[in-house]
Amino acid sequence: MLEKKTSSKTEILDAAANCFMELGSDVASIDDIARSLGATKGRIYHHFSSKGALLSAVRMRAIMFILDEVTPIVNNSETPINTLRDMAYTHVLKILETLPYHRVVLQHYRKNAAKSTTDYERKLISEIEAKRQLYENLYRNILEQGMKSGDFIKRDISVALHSVLLMLNSPVFWFTPLKKNQAKNHQEIASQLADMAVACLR
């Protein structure tokens, strides 16, 4: 479950996500983040012991945003097709709503930027990986159910899983937020990608 945070901690994470996204996680400093908040570095260090710990917290929050939203859908007793579509729609919608966080995650995979230097940071990275595996398994299980029931064509489960998730994560690469009608725009994109995810499996 997404950890309940104080408003101060949430503001720091939001500012960090935006700074890491705009400047790059390898370039953005605690000074940059503090400046964007109009605060001192001490305010940040009160909650996060280092830049690495803050970066890991941003990455953890990215996965928890979608894990918390999608997990309840898995237990709704719908058919695999309907469940997958609801999962996919919710996933994309949350990605669009919290885009800076997910662009920071993308930087990590592109540059391997999140190198750990302390036992604490290595522990955080291990926890992030465990949550990511947990999330992937939600999709793996529903794909296996659908293939078993005949709702989905039988394919290599790993190929199907990662192809679907790549499609659903694609807005991280190309989406540009609109100034007007954001909610409607997000819903339309989420709906189209969810339909495409289901269609490629049937």
Q: pLDDT digit string (tens) for 126-145?
A: 899 999 999 999 999 999 99
Task: Place 4 in a pLDDT band, splitting at 50, 70 and 90.
Answer: low
Would the pLDDT of 73 be above 70? yes
Tell me what pLDDT residue 120 has: 81
Would the pLDDT of 118 be above 60? yes
Would the pLDDT of 59 be above 80? yes
Tell me what pLDDT residue 147 has: 96
Would the pLDDT of 113 be above 60? no
Q: Mean pLDDT across the chain, nearest whole number? A: 91
Q: pLDDT digit string (tens) for 175-197?
A: 998 888 889 999 999 999 999 99
Tell me what pLDDT residue 5 has: 60
For the chain, domain boundaries:
50-199
Long-range contact set of residues 27-33: C-beta below 8 Å, sequence gap at least 24 = 30/54
Does the pTM surpass 0.85? The reply is yes
Q: Which of 9-13, 60-64, 114-118, 184-188 has the lowest mean pLDDT?
A: 114-118
Would the pLDDT of 116 be above 80? no
Instruction: Provide the phi-psi class of 191: left if phi over 0, else alpha when psi is between -120 and 50, else beta.
Output: alpha
Instruction: Provide the phi-psi class of 3: left if phi over 0, else alpha when psi is between -120 and 50, else beta.
Output: beta
Say if CB 87 and CB 138 are below 8 A apart.
yes
CA 49 to CA 71: how far, in whole Å? 31
CA 138 to CA 89: how far, in whole Å? 14
Say if CB 72 and CB 1 are below 8 A apart.
no
**Mean pLDDT within 5-15:** 86
Which stretch of DSSP H or E encloses residue 201? Answer: none
Tell me what pLDDT residue 178 has: 80
Tell me what pLDDT residue 6 has: 59
Say if CB 57 and CB 2 are below 8 A apart.
no
Between residues 167 and 116, the one the model is more confident about: 167
Token pair recorded at residue 108: 């990590």
**Mean pLDDT within 170-179:** 91
CA 93 to CA 112: how far, in whole Å? 26
Q: pLDDT digit string (tens) for 23-36?
A: 998 899 999 999 99
Superfamily of domain 50-199: Tetracycline Repressor, domain 2 (1.10.357.10)
